[in-house]
Amino acid sequence: MVHRKPSGTPAPTEAYRQSVIDLSGLPLIMSPKELAPVLGITPDALAQDRYLCCGIPYVRLGRRIRYLRDDVVRHLAAHRVGGSGDAV
């Protein structure tokens, strides 16, 4: 049984179950310096994506940039190429 929030949006853990990508060990909110090594890129690459208005959705808090774990999982799952999509 899948529980959903009253607004009809999936529960946060549903995004993890629907994707093969398991990033549940990551913090809920990450800075570019925390996220970049996980993705195998540099914080500058994340900054370039933000400048070009593409890439992973982010939150701006004043001058600070933060990435939400659920947004990272959704972005990676949406850009996955190949494979059956079934969990092993």
Q: Are strands 59-61 and 29-30 parallel, antiparallel or unpaired?
A: unpaired
**pLDDT at residue number 82:** 82
Q: Report d(CA 6, CA 32) in Å as an integer.
A: 32
Q: Report d(CA 14, CA 5) in Å as an integer.
A: 11
Structure tokens at 78: 């949406």
**pLDDT at residue number 5:** 46
Structure tokens at 16: 């993890």
CATH fold of the domain at 26-78: Arc Repressor Mutant, subunit A (1.10.10)
pLDDT of 20-73, one tens digit each?
A: 566 778 899 999 999 999 999 999 999 999 999 999 999 999 999 999 999 999
